[in-house]
Amino acid sequence: MALLEVTNLHTYYGNIHALKGISLTVEEGEIVSLIGGNGAGKTTTLRTINGLLKPRSGTVILNGENLADYKAHELVSKGVAMVPEGRGVFAKLSVEENLELGAYHRTDKDGIAKDLAYTYELFPRLGERKNQLAGTMSGGEQQMLATARALMSRPKVILMDEPSMGLAPVLVETIFDTIKKVNDEGMTVLLVEQNAHMALQIANRGYVLQTGEIVLSDSAANLQKDPTVQKAYLGID
């Protein structure tokens, strides 16, 4: 059984049929990338998995448990953490206060302190700036903070929505190195990303979405070689 199993999701925005039977799996310890053009349904897929949108039909199973009856904030304690598009840090709070909020549902003070120290080891720049207001940090630093805040919840899987969006090219590689580092430490990642080249470079497997449907799935290595993917998403004729 996969850690995360999504089966036949149908999600609507009003009368608009946004997801048309999406099914995917994520094994423990994997990075799985969802790629596709604007409006393909990538973010809608993450928001449905995360409970922000309720599907009309279909199931989301995490570690054998059906998540259908839980609200988005309840899913944090079930092991689902979201790094939203645009990062969503609390601009007027310090780096450390943002990280502490990532563990809001936890009561193990010793464990929280240990994870905070671990987070600063994983992201030394955050440790150097732990008293700095999050809103005064660069986009790349805020993305690191959003990722670290998600880790503070001790999730089973992290959902990442467009982590490179709005970043200068020099920072994009840093962010993908960060995602790979988190995965190397054992974290399972489901990644939505417009930068298909970078997403497939770090992923184990990938799914290609078009207008709310999965049209292709394979190992990341094979997707990078696929002529359709190369032409549509990798800029290779």
Average pLDDT, the chain: 93
pLDDT above 70 covers what percent of the chain?
100
Instruction: Enumerate the domain spans of the chain.
Output: 4-233
Distances (CA, A) of 62 to 2, 171, 180, 184, 204: 8, 32, 22, 21, 19
Distances (CA, A) of 66 to 4, 21, 22, 60: 10, 17, 16, 6
Please write the tens of the pLDDT for every residue from 177-233. Answer: 889 988 998 999 999 998 999 999 999 999 999 999 999 999 999 999 999 999 988
Closest CA to 119 of 99, 98, 104: 99
What fold characterizes domain 4-233? Rossmann fold (3.40.50)
88 pairs with which residues across the strands? none
State the average pLDDT over residues 151-172.
Answer: 90
Give the C-alpha separation, 209 to 158, whole Å: 20
Give the C-alpha separation, 137 to 57, whole Å: 41
Please write the tens of the pLDDT for every residue from 10-69. Answer: 999 999 999 999 999 999 999 999 999 988 999 999 999 999 999 999 999 999 999 988
Name the pLDDT band for 167 (thresholds 50, 70, 90): confident
Residue that the structure tokens 């996969």 belong to: 2
Q: Phi and psi at residue 57, in whole multiples of 5°?
A: -155, 165
Cβ(90)–Cβ(99) under 8 Å? Answer: no
Going 136 to 141 to 143 to 149, the CA torsion angle's sign is negative
Report whether pLDDT(166) > 90: no
pTM of the model: 0.93
